[in-house]
């Protein structure tokens, strides 16, 4: 498929879709239905000379088949040559810009598996060049992250014990750093409408992708696990009421607050990318399946507390917060029991049949806690809270 052909195809499909949905802008319609966009959810350099960083080079190389893409071979060679240097800068020197570049790249790579099926980027999903880069980044990233959570993990014998492992999950999810506490208090008591808008837009990328992350955990391990994930998916989809699906509730909330769904993530920091990528690193690698379940369990345990702080802040700012922001109310009222269900219907039954999975579940949970903490730090920095904490 040539780039020209794919553009024609893209225009044709967009036109058909808009005519069908009477949509002037091309990716939404009057019923609030979102359809996958043919354009990828990351920027693509239009000319080879604009492809300078790792993420720009990968985006460019994804945009079409390489024999039709000017300078593709040169860019691919440069990418392979520079990748070890970028990974070293990111994970050995902890250079923030290199970490951001690496995580933007991983985000692009995972988005390929979630893109419009007719988009040219999907042609590369299992291409050796892309799999090689992805494997190298994932290996370097996990080698960087794993030593950081070692001390937080349960012992091998605790991890094999169903009740002890469940107790470990609860204890970890309830832990709060000073920054976590300060950030939630800020939302509850101080954040302005503009600051809340920034918070909601920061959350948008993951909120639109969360049900996909959940769906990736649906592939079979056991019937009990599958049933609980299906139960969660049913909630995500609004229990059969289209307008109550969580992504639609989020879209409705954006509209009622006068906000637009961002085309690309709004983050210019590697931490939120890393938290997002963690779901898809686990979800798109079968060998990380149990880590993925551990990572999905944690938010079910800590989110109710977070959502209550969000709702308290929204009620301080809006007399009609419940109408404007049903998304958050729904998560408090419908989802509070998810955490205990994940423990009793996912974690427990897995350990009973496969005790060796316990440490994997814990690793996924600990990495998720770490990612949540980094995300709070990122938000605290955006809102100028870190200075206040360090001077206390």
Q: Which residues bind Fe ion (CB under 5 A)?
A: 246
Rank residues 246 and 368 by Cβ distance to Fe ion and give the closer one: 246
Rank residues 52 and 255 by Cβ distance to Fe ion and give the closer one: 255
DSSP characters over 124-188? GTT-HHHHHHHHHHHHHHHHHHHHHHGGGSPPHHHHTSHHHHHHHHHHHHH---HHHHHHHHHHH
Distance (Å, whole) CA 271 – CA 280: 15
Length of the chain: 392
Q: Which residue has the tokens 């750093």?
A: 177
Least CB distance from residue 299 to Fe ion, whole Å? 9
Q: Are 271 and 374 in contact (CB under 8 A)?
A: yes
CB atoms within 10 A of CB 175: 11
Least CB distance from residue 229 to Fe ion, whole Å? 13
Distance (Å, whole) CA 150 – CA 3: 47
Rounded to 5 degrees, φ, ψ at 127 are: -65, 140
Rank residues 57 and 331 by Cβ distance to Fe ion and give the closer one: 331
Rank residues 103 and 246 by Cβ distance to Fe ion and give the closer one: 246
150: its two tokens: 């070692």
Task: Give the nearest residue (CB) to Fe ion.
Answer: 246
Rank residues 232 and 376 by Cβ distance to Fe ion and give the closer one: 232
Rank residues 159 and 229 by Cβ distance to Fe ion and give the closer one: 229
Least CB distance from residue 277 to Fe ion, whole Å? 19
Q: Are 251 and 32 in contact (CB under 8 A)?
A: yes
Least CB distance from residue 334 to Fe ion, whole Å? 9
Least CB distance from residue 75 to Fe ion, whole Å? 39
Least CB distance from residue 236 to Fe ion, whole Å? 5
The residues facing 28 across adjacent strands are: 34
Residue 238, classified by CB atoms within 10 Å of its CB into exposed (0-12), middle (13-18) or buried (19+), is middle
């Amino acid at each position: 498929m040539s780039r020209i052909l794919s553009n024609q195809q893209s225009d044709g499909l967009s036109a058909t879709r808009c005519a069908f949905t009477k949509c002037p802008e091309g990716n939404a319609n009057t019923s609030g239905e979102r359809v996958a966009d043919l354009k990828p959810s990351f920027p693509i350099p239009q000319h080879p000379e604009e492809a300078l960083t790792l993420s720009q080079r990968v985006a460019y190389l994804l945009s079409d088949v390489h024999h039709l893409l000017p300078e593709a071979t040169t860019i691919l060679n440069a990418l392979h040559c520079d990748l070890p240097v970028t990974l070293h800068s990111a994970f050995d020197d902890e250079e923030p810009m290199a970490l951001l570049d690496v995580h933007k790249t991983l985000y692009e790579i995972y988005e390929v598996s979630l893109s419009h099926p007719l988009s040219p980027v999907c042609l590369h999903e299992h291409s050796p060049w892309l799999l090689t880069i992805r494997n190298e980044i994932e290996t370097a990233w996990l080698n960087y992250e794993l030593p950081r959570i070692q001390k937080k993990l349960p012992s091998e014998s605790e991890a094999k014990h169903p009740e002890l492992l469940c107790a470990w999950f609860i204890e970890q999810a309830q832990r709060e750093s000073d920054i976590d506490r300060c950030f939630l208090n800020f939302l509850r008591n101080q954040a302005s409408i503009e600051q809340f808008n920034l918070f909601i837009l920061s959350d948008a990328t993951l909120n639109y992708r969360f049900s996909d992350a959940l769906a990736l955990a649906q592939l079979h391990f056991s019937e009990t696990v599958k049933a609980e994930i299906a139960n969660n998916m049913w909630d995500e989809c609004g229990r059969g009421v289209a307008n109550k699906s969580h992504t639609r509730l989020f879209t409705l909330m954006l509209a009622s607050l006068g906000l637009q769904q961002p085309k690309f993530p709004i983050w210019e920091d590697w931490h939120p990318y890393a938290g997002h990528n963690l779901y898809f690193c686990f979800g798109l690698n079968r060998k990380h399946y149990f880590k993925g379940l551990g990572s999905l369990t944690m938010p079910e345990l800590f989110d109710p507390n977070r959502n209550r702080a969000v709702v308290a802040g929204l009620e301080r700012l809006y007399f009609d917060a419940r109408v404007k922001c049903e998304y958050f109310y729904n998560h408090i009222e419908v989802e509070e029991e998810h955490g205990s269900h994940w423990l009793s219907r996912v974690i427990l039954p897995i350990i009973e049949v496969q005790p060796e999975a316990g440490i994997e579940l814990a690793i996924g949970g600990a990495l998720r806690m770490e990612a949540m903490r980094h995300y709070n730090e990122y938000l605290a920095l955006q809102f100028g809270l870190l200075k206040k904490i360090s001077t206390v």
